[in-house]
Amino acid sequence: MSSANYTIAVDAMGGDNSPAKIIDGIDLFLKEDNLFFFNIYGDEKLIIECLRNKKNISEKNYKVIHCTTKIENEDSVRNAIKIGKDSSMWRAIESVKEKQSDLIISSGNTGALLLISKLLIKMIDNIDKPAIAGLWPNNKGTSIFLDLGANIEFNKKNYLDFSKIGAELFKVIFDKEIPVVGLLNVGSEEIKGHEELKNSYNEISNQKNNFLFHGYIEGNEIKNGDIDVVVTDGFTGNIALKTAEGTVNFINTQIKKIFSSSLFGKICYLISYSVFKKIKKNLDPRKYNGGIFLGLNGPVIKSHGGADSLAFYYSIKLSAKILRGNLIKKIKLNFENE
């Protein structure tokens, strides 16, 4: 019998270099926190092989559930549903539905994970759509950013719903009583933006909320860290995310190019090595791995498909905060009387 406080279901076959990176990530996590149990879904032979000689994973911390198939990243959502019930992803999600696990993590196909989660776990009452939320570094710490691509079309209710659930997520992860929420827009003036956004501004302004409403925030202000939760539609959010990731990669490439182009540059780099190492550590995208599907009756975490074991470890750390903070119960309380 496990003495763990929480059980996490893991789709061990999703993403690159699985299940090796999955097991390595679990091993890193259990080294510092062994109060979690893992239901590991996937190819039993491969998983057992990866578990060999892991110092921090004992039999009291895991169970392997063999699955005959897996959903590939290139599979369409339709094909994923056909593969369905015998796949590691489906069975991991199903374990949350059946209360055998408290949360599910997968590095697999995002569309399939979202659709199957919605199909099996279902939406919280009075929430129309799920959102994908992510962590976004800023000058003062970290913001919550949503939606990152689950919904292209947004209405007034979606903006309000996602503001509420984003605020609860921020409270749970960062232990702040009253988070500050802003709507991403092309300007800070009330007259700017499309009609749906302006209507949402008025709706949120006139309601009693579980957060402090800042109003509009422009894209260049996200980094300032004055806004804890940035809310936008999935189309804009996904473009913003990919643009930010591309910009960081571009800057890193240019820095390497400049410092490696001459002997003087290489000497300057060596002198400044400790500074660059600190910057790299602070902006390491692996620390922010883990998209959170919000609005469902159970917690679902999407790890990046190309994430390594350290990134997967960080997605487990995020999961631990969500479970210990009882996020789903707190979100439901916000929508009970609607």
pLDDT digits (tens, 9 = 90+) for 119-164: 999 999 999 999 999 999 999 999 999 999 888 888 899 999 999 9
Q: Under 8 Å CB-to-CB from 128, ≥6 apart: which residues?
A: 157, 158, 161
pLDDT higher than threshold 50 for residue 226: yes
DSSP string, 108-162: S-HHHHHHHHHHHT-BPTT--S-EEEEEEEETTEEEEEE-SSS-SS--HHHHHHH
Please give the Cα distance from 131 to 165 (Å, whole number).
Answer: 9
Quick check: 260 pLDDT over 90?
A: no
- Give the mean pLDDT of 20-28: 96
Whether the per-residue pLDDT at 274 is higher than 60: the answer is: yes
pLDDT recorded at residue 125: 94
Tell whether the model's pLDDT for residue 250 goes beyond 60. yes
Alpha-carbon distance 151 to 139, whole Å? 28
Residue 3: predicted pLDDT: 60
Residue-wise pLDDT tens digits, 192-203: 888 888 889 898
For the entire predicted model, the pTM comes to 0.89
Q: Mutual orientation of helices 273-282 and 263-271 as an angle, nearest 10°?
A: 70
Is residue 23 over pLDDT 60?
Answer: yes
pLDDT average, residue stretch 300-304: 94
Q: What confidence tier does 2 reach under pLDDT thresholds 50, 70, 90?
A: low
- For residue 80, is pLDDT > 70? yes
Cβ(292)–Cβ(145) below 8 Å: no
| Opening angle at CA 30, ends 26 and 32, nearest 5 | 130
How many Å apart are CA 121 and CA 295, to the nearest integer? 10
Tell me what pLDDT residue 325 has: 94
CA-CA distance, 281 to 141, in Å (whole number)?
A: 13
Cβ(56)–Cβ(316) below 8 Å = no
The answer to whether 302 and 110 are in contact (CB under 8 A) is yes
Q: Which residue has the higher pLDDT, 1 or 255?
A: 255
25 near 105, Cβ under 8 Å?
no
Q: What is the pLDDT of the chain when averaged over all its residues?
A: 90
- pLDDT, tens digit (0-9, with 9 covering 90-100), for 209-219: 889 999 999 99
Q: How many other CB atoms are found less than 10 A from the CB of residue 179?
A: 21
Q: Where are the beta strands (DSSP E) in 266-306?
A: 291-294, 300-302
* Residue indicated by tokens 């959102």: 131
- Please state whether beta strands 291-294 and 300-302 pair in parallel, antiparallel, or not at all (unpaired): antiparallel
pLDDT top residue among 235 and 81? 235
Q: Contact at 8 Å (CB) between 71 and 14?
A: yes
pLDDT, residue 92, reads 97
Which domains, ranges and CATH numbers included, belong to the chain?
A: 1-127+295-338 (3.40.718.10), 136-287 (3.40.718.10)
Task: Please report where in the chains the tokens 């069975």 appear, as a residue.
Answer: 91
Q: pLDDT at position 319, please?
A: 96
Backbone angles phi, psi at 66, to 5 degrees: -70, 135
* pLDDT for residue 1: 41
